[in-house]
Amino acid sequence: MEHTIMQHMEIVRGITVNTLSRIPEETADIIPAGYNNNIRWNFGHIAYIQEKLVFDLAGEEAGVPGHYKELFSAGTKPSDWNGTPPSFTEISEVLKNQKDRLKEFIPGHFHQKLNEPFTNRAGITFHTVGATFLFSFYHEAMHIETIKRIYQAIKKS
């Protein structure tokens, strides 16, 4: 079963990286009416939250740049950013490297208990690395859909 789950992760992350490669970076920082964040934030948020859900909650060392927390954690927004955010190239590399780290880490850790149970903003409580890892697929897909909607809104305006 873990093999199937890892194949699914490859598909989900492949969709994310492919979507990132098809969107022009000059649209990355536009926030259309009705949205709180931009395309760049959503891609960075995918990377940061995946890191938190799997590695951070398991007590593992972070593999994304330290400033991703300030830029891309839940509740952050581009209007609060100071300085230059990471490029699409950097975010793409972070996403690819993270996928490779997940492929190495998850086998053998799927049933590992988290250091402490984690309850997300929706009130769902997770107890294992596998549970947070599986939830991350839903989270990633939700943000890819948001990215596509933002991009469509930008193209229409």
**Residue 4 main-chain phi, psi, to 5 deg:** -65, -40
pLDDT at site 90: 98
Residue 157: its pLDDT value, please? 84
Question: Would you say the C-alpha torsion 41, 46, 50, 51 has a positive or negative sign?
Answer: negative
What pLDDT score does 141 carry? 97
Overall size of the chain counted in residues? 157
**Residue 116, phi then psi, degrees to nearest 5:** -155, 150
Residue found by looking up tokens 């079963």 in the block: 1
CATH code of the domain made up of 2-156: 1.20.120.450
Does the pLDDT at position 91 exceed 90? yes
CA separation (Å) from 102 to 56, 64, 95, 133? 12, 12, 10, 9
pLDDT in tens, 76-86: 999 999 989 99
**Rounded percentage of the chain residues whose pLDDT exceeds 90:** 95
pLDDT of residue 147: 98
Vertex 59, ends 139 and 94: CA angle to 5°? 50
Give the separation between CA 18 and CA 23, rounded to whole angstroms: 9
Separation between Cα atoms, residue 67 and residue 135, nearest integer Å:
24
Question: CA-to-CA distance for 117 and 95, rounded, in angstroms?
Answer: 25
What value does the mean pLDDT take over residues 129-140?
A: 97
At 1 the pLDDT is 75
pLDDT in tens, 6-15: 999 999 999 9
Residue 64 has pLDDT above 80, yes or no: yes
What pLDDT is recorded for position 113? 97
* Single pTM value for the model: 0.95
**Domain boundaries of the chain, sorted by first residue:** 2-156
d(CA 127, CA 20): 31
Mean pLDDT of all residues in the chain? 96
Q: Is the pLDDT of residue 142 over 80?
A: yes
DSSP 87-155: PHHHHHHHHHHHHHHHHHHSTTTTTPEEEEEEE-TTS-EEEEHHHHHHHHHHHHHHHHHHHHHHHHHHH
